[in-house]
Amino acid sequence: MLSLQAGSSLPTSLTGLASLRSRGDQHRSVQAFLLATHSDRPTEDDAPRAQELVVEPHGLVSAGSDWYLCASTEGTVRFFKAVRIEHAALLAEPCSGPDLDVAQAWRDHRGRFLDQFTPVSVDAWLRAERWDDAREWSICTSPMDASGSPPGEGWRPVRLEFMDDLHAVTVLLRLGSDVRIEAPDDIKAKLLDQIDQVATLYRS
């Protein structure tokens, strides 16, 4: 049985899947029992829906604190989030597809996902101790030349890149008082609007 939590180390069973081809054991498929994604409709008793798939493994991808299994099923390359894999067992059937460049497949997959959104960049001052959080939650966090004066000691000027406005506001709310936006003004206005709505809710 395979059980993972976000941010955990890679379990031995998934490590085995990643090394199949390097051991010359590429003539096996993998049967994976996958937990339902959040977008799937629940069952009548609200339990997560699950499905069994026979997949051909290509490798593993580490993205942030998450692991993904890159595998083909019915001729389609997919990425399965490790935390949704409940069980994985080797089968005797040989893999039928060609080798795959997993790194390139991931870049293509990520590119198609990001194409659905309108990216936005935010210039801000960030407390130094929140650098790692900002890097994990944004698409990209990079240092930039200072513009204006920092709110105090221990702040650094950064450029934060997000998938879209909603992503930006969500992350900025999580960073709370440890970030101060300099630009753009529309993101600053949307953040302040969300803060006002929260404050109104708790004051009512």
- Quote the number of domains for the chain: 2
Contact between 10 and 66 (Cβ < 8 Å): no
Q: Is residue 193 part of a domain?
A: yes
CA distance 41 to 146: 48
79 and 142 share a domain?
Answer: no
Note the pLDDT of residue 35: 35
Count other Cβ atoms within 10 Å, centred on residue 60: 19
57 and 125 share a domain?
Answer: no
Contact between 137 and 124 (Cβ < 8 Å): no
- Which mean pLDDT values do the consecutive 10-residue runs of the chain (204 residues) have? 40 52 48 42 56 81 82 86 76 75 90 85 96 93 89 94 94 96 95 95 89
Q: Is residue 5 part of a domain?
A: no
* Domain span at 94: 12-114
Q: Is residue 65 part of a domain?
A: yes
148 and 103 share a domain?
Answer: no
92 and 144 share a domain?
Answer: no
Note the pLDDT of residue 6: 37
Note the pLDDT of residue 104: 92
Note the pLDDT of residue 128: 95
Q: For residue 196, what is the domain's CATH number?
A: 3.30.70
Q: Is residue 144 part of a domain?
A: yes
Q: Which domain-ending residue is among 97, 114, 131?
A: 114
Inter-CA distances, 40 with 3, 53, 84, Å: 20, 16, 13
Count other Cβ atoms within 10 Å, centred on residue 129: 9
161 and 98 share a domain?
Answer: no
Note the pLDDT of residue 34: 46
CA distance 189 to 148: 19
Our measurement of the distance from residue 46's CA atom to the centroid of its chain's CA atoms, rounded to an integer in Å, reads 25
Q: Is residue 77 part of a domain?
A: yes
36 and 84 share a domain?
Answer: yes
Note the pLDDT of residue 29: 55
129 and 181 share a domain?
Answer: yes
Q: Which domain-ending residue is among 114, 133, 161?
A: 114
Q: Is residue 6 part of a domain?
A: no
My answer on whether omega of the bond before 184 falls inside 30° of 0, hence cis, is: yes
126 and 108 share a domain?
Answer: no
Note the pLDDT of residue 24: 45
* Helices (runs of H) and strands (runs of E) counted in the chain: 5, 9
Q: Which domain-ending residue is among 46, 80, 114?
A: 114
159 and 139 share a domain?
Answer: yes
Inter-CA distances, 64 with 6, 26, 98, 139, 175, Å: 10, 28, 28, 10, 17
